[in-house]
Structures are given as structure tokens and as C-alpha cells.
Amino acid sequence: MSFNIELDAVARQYGSVRAVDGVSFAAAAGEVIALVGHNGAGKTTLIKLMLGLARPTSGSVCVLGQDPAAGDVTVRRRLGYLPENVSFNPALTGRETLRFYVQLKGGPPKEAEALLQRIGLAHAADRRIGTYSKGMRQRLGLAQAMIGSPAVLLLDEPTTGLDPELRQQFYGIVREMQAAGTTVLLSSHALNELEGNAGRVVILNEGRKIADGSLDELRRIARLPTRIRLTAAEGGARRLREWMGEPKGLRQINGHIVEIDASPEDKAAFLRRAAGEGAPFEDLDMVPPGLDELYAHFLAGRASK
């Protein structure tokens, strides 16, 4: 299988800071990968390495079969990039700006029109960018990155500052690009918005890759407990505790509610027992681990090593 992006033990040092430290991964056509990590985790540096804007201190970077730092124009044309802080000339209109970038990439002017339509900015195309909202500027940035239907799209924190509706619209466009075979790599601070939107998540911490997989795979690896909350009739907490055998970690919330964190195996065993006769509860709630807990789990695992 050939990959659009291949990183092999890539490191990038800035003075005493190892911004990226031994990262390897490969991305195929049609994959949507999210790079997730705290501030300073190395996301932007990794993207710059893939763009050839930074060179690795050691290791190798290969994008569309080439070293991106070699500056091969045919490869550059097939790369789209949305920087973290997108800035355009505020005196130009959206249309003028996009036409300029289309021209730079050697595309026809009508491509700018099609892109303005696609990202929902056609109505504001003749307004100066100085009058655009943050969301509109971000969408224009995305349109600029999509010029020439790139084979690899690198988006640095593309959803920052977008409201939930625009965010969904944005991921809709990402899905279209993915369906057309584009490899999309986007960086983000948060796991929560990636559910259903990124097939694969790479978690970075202090320049190192600490997790790589689909959210479901990461959940399985993490084996985080599910919180089970049982509610009995008024004053029934004691009976609940006895019925459960006073397990370690059981929490009594009040006179009729108890909670326990159950591992994946314990959860199944518990549910079988709860389905039997005489279980002394009236209601049962199960709260699966959230994405924030998953993220914290991987970061904590790293810190303890």
C-alpha cells in the first residue's frame, strides 16, 4: 500500500526544546486523521514538517512520495494548508483574495467562484475581508486550502472560533474531500468534536506520539470503567449495598442512590445479575467514559512513565 504521508522517527529540535520527538505514522488516501494535544504538544511543528516549512533534525518525512522540503512544485500544488492564524489582507474582498490564490496555484478564475459557493461565502464575496467575522475568515481560509482539489489537506486548528453549526458544515466539507480520496490531517485541542468526524486520532504529548487509533480502538485500549448508578426506593441504599456485596469503590450518593465504576468485564457480569429476579433497584443509569476522560487517561499514562 502506498501512503500519502509517511513519517519515520521524525524529530525536530529548537534549541533545548524537542518540539517533535521520534514520531512515526503513515496516512493513506481518504483517511481523516486528527492530531490532538495540549498547547505546545508539537502539532503545528509536525504540520510544518509535512509542508517542508521546517526540516527534521532527524528521521524522515515523505509527502506524496517526496521530501516536502525539497520544494518540488508539482507536490506543492497537490498540498492544501490552512494555517492556525489565518490572515488575509483586510482591504481585499473575499473574491479578489481567492482569485489571487487560485492564480498562484495556476487554476482558472472560475475555481474561485465554485469554492466561494461550496463554503457558503458567495453572498459576501464582494465584501472586504476587514468586515468578515472570524467564522467567515476561517471559511475563506479553508477555501484557499481546497484550491486544486489537493491530495493532502493539512489544517491547523481549523475549527477554533467556529460555532457548532459552522463546525458541522466544516466537517461536512472534510467528508466530501475524504470521499474524493484526499488525506485530511487536522490538529485540534479537543477530542469531543472528533467523534464521527475523524477516523483516526493521534495524540501528542511533549512532542511524542502517545496514542494512535480510532476513538473506538483507543477506548478499548484504555479500558476505562463505566459509571453505573443505581436508584432504589427511598431509604433503599443500604439494601443496594448489601445486594452488591459492598464492593470496593462503591459510593453512596444519598439514602437511595449508589454508584460504582465497573470495568468492561465487571459491567457485563453486573448487567446479567441485575437482569435477574429480586434486584433491589428501580432505575439504572450507565455513563460510559467521556472523551475528556479518554484523553486524560493517555496523558496520565505518559506522565507516569
Ligand X SMILES: Nc1ncnc2c1ncn2[C@@H]1O[C@H](COP(=O)(O)OP(=O)(O)OP(=O)(O)O)[C@@H](O)[C@H]1O
Q: Which residues bind ligand X (CB under 6 A)?
A: 14, 17, 19, 37, 39-45, 84
Query: Measured from the CB of residue 52, what is the shortest distance to ligand X in angstroms?
Result: 15
Residue with cell 469554492: 115
2 versus 39: smaller Cβ distance to ligand X: 39
DSSP bridge partners of 251 = 259
Residue with cell 484526499: 182
Ramachandran angles phi, psi of 67, nearest 5°: -75, 115
Q: How far is the CB of 140 from ligand X (least distance, A)?
A: 21
Give the three cell numbers for residue 87.
490572515
Least CB distance to ligand X at residue 205 (A): 10
- Please, what is the minimum distance in Å from the beta carbon of residue 269 to ligand X? 41
Measured distance CA(155)–CA(184) in Å, rounded: 8
Give the residue with the Cβ less far from ligand X, 15 or 164. 15
229, 218, 210: which is closest to 292 by C-alpha?
A: 218
Q: Match 460510559 to its residue by C-alpha cell.
A: 288
19 versus 173: smaller Cβ distance to ligand X: 19
- Least distance (Å) between residue 138 CB and ligand X: 15
Quick check: helix, strand or coil at residue 206? coil
Judged by beta carbon, residue 45 or residue 97, the one nearer ligand X is 45
Question: Left, alpha or beta for 64 (phi > 0: left; psi -120 to 50: alpha)?
Answer: left
Candidates 233, 197, 223, 244; CA nearest to 289 is: 223
Tell the smallest beta-carbon distance from residue 162 to ligand X (Å): 16
Q: Which is nearer to ligand X, 119 or 204 (CB)?
A: 204
List Cβ neighbours of 156 (8 Å cut-off, separation of 6 or more): 43, 44, 47, 81, 82, 83, 84, 186, 187
- All three cell numbers of 274, joined, read 441485575
Nearer to ligand X, 197 or 205 (CB): 205
In the complex, the smallest distance separating the C-beta of residue 157 from ligand X, rounded to whole angstroms, is: 7
Q: How many CB atoms lie within 10 A of CB 288?
A: 11
